[in-house]
Structure 1
């Protein structure tokens, strides 16, 4: 999952404090992997492993960006199961419950290898230095930016430019609003400690969704006429909205499927290679409804919603735009990384 100590998704523990607004702890390990190795970790093919959980929206960003850029051959990926206990995410999907590359049962082990007294949240995504077994970074926002700007020597031919230099200021501005009011906004609703804090978060969330609808009414993507980092960041929250946030987090003014512009936009992205093929709805629902026992003490996982609408025509291509700019779509999902059909939205 992806954030840090109080992170409602990635970190085992208390997510809200009665009587207070939800406050996400954002003190990450900010070491960077760069082309020049300025922090001691140069970009090198095969050296690092990206550890994710498909349930987590923050980790899902890294999965999407890695796939769009074609980094699978040079940056391996370990996938944790959808649930965790108070200690950390586990590699319970792998034979013997051990990651086959890192040789550990829990991502916590890689954090403690970096710092035996690590005091903060055990989160995903995390990038691990395979030779030492130590976490390099769990700074989820910087991870995708560095994949886009520091790993360019290993991007596939035809990889899109998701963070074009001439658009970065606008991308950053939009992404910050999306993070504050939408990505984190759904958590502010779900883990609010009072009625008043919940209602503040609720109104702020839907005001931003309305703003996004207005922005996207006449343009296909959030910034410019191609896919960018901003679209990736919004998509992972929209993909989870009806399945968990609408009910589980009480973000229930409307379902995504009741917001015509955003629903069409989300379907457009979902049907674009690299986006929908990373979404595991079974993992998403299992995580939220089984781990958040304070919100769902029964542990019952809802049977719905109907997922077939994700493949309905969206007609967003009528607005123009070129998803990959001068590039091309990614190829088929790498061997061993395909979301099982029974976990995905059924095709018509």
Structure 2
């Protein structure tokens, strides 16, 4: 997860406002291979944690576009230390394809002495074992734009050309005020910094509620990249951000429009079936010990509400546009039934 931490594992900056380190590896995987990494099915491994909202975007987009056979996926455990994410879920604690215990090994293989965050999602070249990129905004965009030859039949267009300027504009403000805004609340080191972040977050959530009151999706009448990016924050709101990050003006369940919107997406194939609430809670409450020193993971909230009727169909819209829903989740990528209300 792209979080800023010190060598001691501290996330909160006592000086005040949380500032995210956004120095990612800018290499891209493209059709023309201009950065040295051409699109090639079976060559790259997407490393994720289901706990991380940025990684979850890539999991959703990969599934919606049907890229499972073209891009393999390694799922790291829900927690990490100051060194790296680990493959503790895999047999023997090593990723069976890369042979690594830690994602850190792929970063050091390409950049010995790498001194920035070891973050997910990351694309790793299976032929060399080297990380290619962890530049998460481009990973999902490039899945749409560069990997088109390997999309499933009737895959949706998540980044339609005519809507890209509007999608980009929405993504920019949602990132600043919501996706990153919850972290600016949670990792604020002063009351002033927290107050500022809190106000900015809920002002933007109110703006989103107004925008979505009369339209089913954020941009246009189909699911786009913008919906994916907002969903992964909303689905974590009540389990972690409301309490753990003090984003507590209201719960998501108390914001009628956003709650219905989130439930609509959750019950759409490709969204809720990728969500692991157990991993989400364990990550935030166990890793952020300067916020939650005991490491106790709360048992709630009750997840049954995610499956209640949302009534968003009355707003129209076509979830997949001219495409179709993805098929069943691959057997080796199914979220454990005890970690989700979807059974």
- Whether these two folds match at TM > 0.5 is yes
Deviation at 1:19, TM superposition (A): 2.3
Q: Describe the superposition over 1:198-244 as per-residue Cα deviations: whole angstroms up to 9, x where unpaired.
A: 00000000000000000000000000000000000000000000000
Name the SS of the counterpart of 2:67 in structure 1: coil
Does residue 71 of structure 1 match 2:67?
yes
Task: State the shift of 1:346 in Å.
Answer: 5.0
Gaps in structure 1 of 5+ consecutive residues: none
Q: Which of 91, 95, 106 is residue 91 of structure 2 equivalent to?
A: 95
- Work out which of the residue numbers 264, 279, 298 in structure 1 matches 2:294: 298
5 Å matches for 1:244-263? 244-263=240-259
Find 1:282's aligned residue among 278, 281, 301: 278
Matched, 1:339 2:335: yes
1:135-214 residue pairs with structure 2 within 5 A? 135-214=131-210
Q: In the alignment, which residue of structure 1 is the partner of 2:47?
A: 51
Distance in 2 between the 1:142 and 1:290 partners? 29
Partner of 1:309: 305
After superposition, the Cα gap between the structure-2 partners of 1:194 and 1:240, relative to the gap in structure 1 and judged at 3 Å, is same
Is 1:38 aligned with 2:34?
Answer: yes
Q: Structure 2 vs 1, CA of residues 288 and 12 (structure 1 numbering), >3 Å: closer, same or farther?
A: farther
| Runs of 4+, deviation exceeding 3 Å | 11-14
Give me the whole-angstrom Cα distance separating, in 2, the residues matched to 1:223 and 1:12: 42
Deviations, residues 87-137 of structure 1 (Å, cap 9, x unaligned)? 100000000000000000000000000111111000000000001000000
Q: State the SS of the aligned residue for 1:87.
A: coil
> Residue 37 of structure 1: CA displacement?
0.5
For the residues of structure 2 that align with 1:87 and 1:7, how far apart are their CA atoms? 10
Q: Tell me, in whole angstroms, the C-alpha distance in 2 between the residues paired with 1:315 and 1:346.
A: 18
Aligned counterpart, 2:17 = 21
- Do 1:16 and 1:23's aligned partners in 2 also have CA atoms closer than 8 Å? no
Asked whether the equivalents of residues 272 and 342 of structure 2 are also in contact (C-alpha less than 8 Å), the reply is no
Q: Does 2:257 align with 1:243? A: no
Structure 1 residue 17: Cα displacement: 1.4
8 Å contact kept, 1:110–1:128: yes
Q: In 2, Cα distance between the equivalents of 1:198 and 1:145?
A: 32
- 1:267 aligned onto 2:268: no
2:10, 2:341 → 1: CA distance?
32
CA shift for structure 1 position 13: 3.4
Per-residue CA distance 1:25-50 (angstroms, 9 max, x = gap): 00000000001101000000000000
Q: Evaluate the alpha carbon distance shift between residue 322 and residue 301 of structure 1 in structure 2; reply closer, same or farther with a 3 A threshold.
A: same
Partner of 2:208, secondary structure, is: helix
Tell me what 1:125 maps to.
121
Deviation of 1:86 after TM superposition, in Å, equals 1.4
Residue 177 of structure 1: how far off its partner (Å): 0.6
Aligned position for 1:231 = 227
CA distance in 2, matches of 1:7, 1:61: 22
1:14 CA displacement: 3.2
In 1, Cα distance between the equivalents of 2:178 and 2:294?
27
Residues in 2 aligned to 1:70 and 1:231: alpha-carbon distance in whole angstroms: 18
CA distance in 1, matches of 2:119, 2:96: 19
For 1:75 and 1:190, locate their aligned partners in 2 and report how far apart those are by CA, in whole Å. Answer: 34
Secondary structure in structure 1 of the residue aligned to 2:242: helix
Q: Distance in 1 between matches of 2:142 and 2:323?
A: 19
2:131 aligns to what SS in structure 1?
A: strand
Whether the 8 Å CA contact 2:273–2:342 is kept in 1: the answer is: no
The alpha carbon displacement at 1:7 in A equals 6.6
> What is the root-mean-square deviation of aligned Cα atoms in Å?
1.2
